[in-house]
Amino acid sequence: MPVIWHPSANFGPRRDGLTPSLIVLHFTAMDSAQVALDRLCEPLAEVSAHYLIGGDGVVWHMIQEQDRAWHAGAGEWYAIDDINSRSIGIELDNCGDHPFSEPQMAALEKLLPEIMARWAIEPAGVIAHSDIAPERKYDPGGRFDWQRLARQGLAVWPTPVADLPADANQFRALARGVGFTADVPDTVLLNAVRLRFRPWGQGALCAEDMAVLAGLAKGNISTNGIDPAFDS
């Protein structure tokens, strides 16, 4: 896997002695990887990430992992903020409107295990930008293949728990229990959960949405196989 060291000045020390426990995946939403790279390294932009992966599978390493990149912004996960001090940020060259390329996914699948091993990050710690900032962000979006990562133990995917009726209060409680603690309206929360686990879902909250979170809450998680009945 080609990795190009291309340093960015947009970083600082991790605060309060924190070390990475999360990996946050993003899409760039820019015209090209080069345009994204230039912006992530432009001091006036005040944004950065540890890595950028192009559609051709080229990986740029911009910030040392022990340092704090500026990729996550305001947000929280399990009611904990300062995600930048707790995470590694990976940008993927994509606008969210088309599938992520095979070379790009293959490069990500080589990079993730290395980072996870260095920092003892579990599959549940590989999350979406939209997970932590659901009212502001929707990347990496509904076209990103989380199931593919889960099959390799690089993320989690729920095996649903059936027979739960749709209930907004219970849905929010379940969502909080699996990390979605941002104080957002019900519709925003539902969209964030669906972006991650049911991107094909439409309409009002339904039993299938409940089943996803119930499966996660009960630890009914697949990392090496996906329930084919739910892959639709």
Comparing 159 with 222, which gets the higher pLDDT? 159
Q: Give the ranges where the chain is alpha helix by DSSP (H).
A: 33-40, 102-119, 129-132, 146-151, 168-177, 186-197, 207-217
Give yes or no for residue 8 having a pLDDT over 50: yes
Residue 156: both structure tokens together: 């989690």
Least confident of 25-29, 30-34, 75-79, 215-219: 215-219
Active site residue 91: yes
The number of helix segments (H) and strand segments (E) in the chain equals 7, 10
30-55 pLDDT tens trace:
999 999 999 999 999 999 999 999 99
49-99 pLDDT tens trace:
999 999 999 999 999 999 999 999 999 999 999 999 999 999 999 999 999
What one-character DSSP code corresponds to residue 223? Answer: S
Residues in the chain: 232
The pLDDT, as a whole number, for residue 197 is 96
Confidence of residue 7 (pLDDT cuts 50, 70, 90): very high
124-136 pLDDT tens trace:
999 999 999 999 9
187-206 pLDDT tens trace:
999 999 999 999 999 999 99
What value does the mean pLDDT of the chain take?
93
Catalytic residue among 42, 91, 114, 208: 91
Contact of 156 with 113, CB cutoff 8 Å: no
| Sign of the Cα pseudo-torsion (156, 188, 50, 14, in order) | negative
